[in-house]
Every structure is written in structure tokens, then in C-alpha cells.
Chains A and B, each alone.
Chain A
């Protein structure tokens, strides 16, 4: 899964990972893992992130070829 979280974080006034983590009530390590693509987050957290960053889940996360296997 390709993630644009980092891009949207910077577009939203250079939010730090910790600031974003606090906004959605998770740890900074969880944001790091999502940005690296190491963690498949829940729908709830995806929706919360999209809402806080003023975008949509589809803009934040995109499926890649390997995800269809």
C-alpha cells in the first residue's frame, strides 16, 4: 500500500509526526510505521487521519500491484 501521509503532513502546515500522532491519539511510532508502509492501519484510523489532514482516505492511501496478490 502506497501512502501519501508524509506529503499531506507537510502540506498541513509542516505537522510533525508527534503532532499528528497526538491529533489522532496514537503513538509517534505508529505514524512512522504507517509512513514507511510497515503497518496496515484500521479503517477508523485511516478516516481520522484523512479528516485531520483535510483530505480523503483514497488520497492518503493507494493500493499497489503487490496488494492484489
Chain B
């Protein structure tokens, strides 16, 4: 059990507010979850260190991994149920990708290996985009042609390992262009979920990749300056 401290009082306050609000409407569940997640979320973002017990943090980490696996399995089951009821059967894939991508990217950020983070984000985004188009259009010349933006993203991600700043600029342009293009031509024709998913899986990863390459270029510059200073001494 956690030590009862200031964070516990805040969490209890949120929880009680949730219960009171529950009498008025159905959104109380969100507040109850917020109360439960207050401490681990704060700790994960480096806050509330005064209230951090290292063993409890280690337990949070392990239980977090287990809960991620449980949620992913649940999403697969929901996909299967949806398909058995005549639905598309891939409704929850976006959430699974989001969860896994977050885990992978946060891990790479914590390692402070920005260039590799940029390469992997761009590579997998390009790969998923190409495969999605190829599965929809078929593995034939036309399919490969319309999947070419995905291949280009893969190629640029690889190039980013050598020229991170240049590729960061290209990805910023691509990210905004993809967002503007979608907003102009598709936003009104697509349901909210499809709009959100496209932004989540295309524009945001492109901009995140650009950010990683930018940080990678900066880190490289810093390393060169440090090396020069060391050899000067």
C-alpha cells in the first residue's frame, strides 16, 4: 500500500468529486480513473518526486507492462467479436498501434537516442502506410505506385541517420502538408474517428519524426563541440 501523503489527499478529493458528479451525470468514471492514475502519471512525467517510493515505482512499472498486454489482448478480442458481428474487424488496431508506438518511442526518448528514435518512428510509419495501401489496393504495379509515399518515408528515415537536420525539415513540410491536404479534401467526408486516426497515424508521426531528427542533429552538434573542446585541452 502507498504511504498516505499529500498526493493521496488530492487523489481522494478527485475521487469524491467523481462520486458527487456521478449523481449528476455519467462522466464520474473518468474522474475516478483520474484519481487512480494521478500518482503513477505524475511520477512517470518526473513530478511528485518528494512522494515517490522507489519500490512502489518499480511495481508501477511492472504492473503497467502487464496492464498494457492485457489491454492489447482485450483489443484483439474486441476486433474478433466485431468481425464475427459483420464489422470490419480492425476497429481497435489504431489503439493497439498507439499504445505500442508510445511505449517504443518513450523508451527511445529515455535512452536519449534521438536519431534512432527518428529512424524507427519514420521507418515503421512508412512501413505501416505502405502495407495498409498495398493490402487495400493489392500487390500489383498500381498498388506499389500509390504506396510510394510510404516507401519515400522509409527511404527518408534511413537518410535521416546521415543527414538528420535536412530530413527533419522535409518531415515538417510533409507533416503539415498531409494535415492541410486531409483538412481540405477529406475532413468533411470522413467520420470523426477516421479523421482522428489519420492525423494520429500520419501527420503526428511525421512531425514527431522531424522533432527526433532535429534533436538528433542538435545532439550530434553538441558531441562534436565536446570532442573539439576535449582535443583542445
Q: Which of A16-33 contact B (CB under 8 A)?
A: 21, 25-30, 33
Residues in B with CB closer than 8 Å to A15 are: none
Q: Which of B96-120 contact A (CB under 8 A)?
A: none
In Å, the complex CA distance between A2 and B53 comes to 22
Bitwise, B1-25 to A at CB < 8 A (1) or not (0) is: 1110000000000000000000000
In Å, the complex CA distance between A50 and B213 comes to 44
Q: Does B85 contact A (CB under 8 A)?
A: no
B1-A29 in contact (CB<8A)? yes
Interface residues on B, range: under 10
In Å, the complex CA distance between A45 and B1 comes to 19
Q: Does A10 contact B (CB under 8 A)?
A: no
B54-A30 in contact (CB<8A)? yes
Residue of A nearest to B49 (CB): A25
Residues of A within 8 A of B (CB): 21, 25-30, 33, 39, 41-42, 44-45
Most A CB within 10 A of own CB, among B2, B3, B55, B58: B55
Pull 11 A–B residue pairs with CB atoms less than 8 Å apart, ordered by A: A25-B50, A26-B3, A26-B53, A26-B55, A27-B2, A27-B53, A27-B56, A29-B1, A33-B55, A44-B54, A45-B54
Residues in B with CB closer than 8 Å to A30 are: 53-56
Residue of A nearest to B54 (CB): A42
In Å, the complex CA distance between A65 and B46 comes to 36
In Å, the complex CA distance between A9 and B134 comes to 66
In Å, the complex CA distance between A25 and B54 comes to 10
Using A21-B3, A27-B1, A41-B55 as known contacts, list a sample of 12 further A-B pairs with CB atoms less than 8 Å apart, ordered by residue number in A. Answer: A25-B50, A25-B53, A26-B53, A26-B54, A27-B55, A29-B1, A29-B55, A30-B53, A30-B54, A30-B55, A33-B55, A42-B54
> How far does the Cβ of A22 sit from chain B's closest Cβ, in whole Å?
9
Among all A-B residue pairs, the 7 with the closest Cβ atoms:
A30-B55, A27-B3, A26-B53, A27-B53, A39-B55, A42-B54, A30-B53
Residue of B nearest to A45 (CB): B54
In Å, the complex CA distance between A25 and B5 comes to 11
Residue of B nearest to A42 (CB): B54
In Å, the complex CA distance between A41 and B57 comes to 12
In Å, the complex CA distance between A25 and B55 comes to 12
> How far does the Cβ of A2 sit from chain B's closest Cβ, in whole Å?
19
In Å, the complex CA distance between A41 and B54 comes to 8
Residues in A with CB closer than 8 Å to B58 are: 39
> How far does the Cβ of A68 sit from chain B's closest Cβ, in whole Å?
23
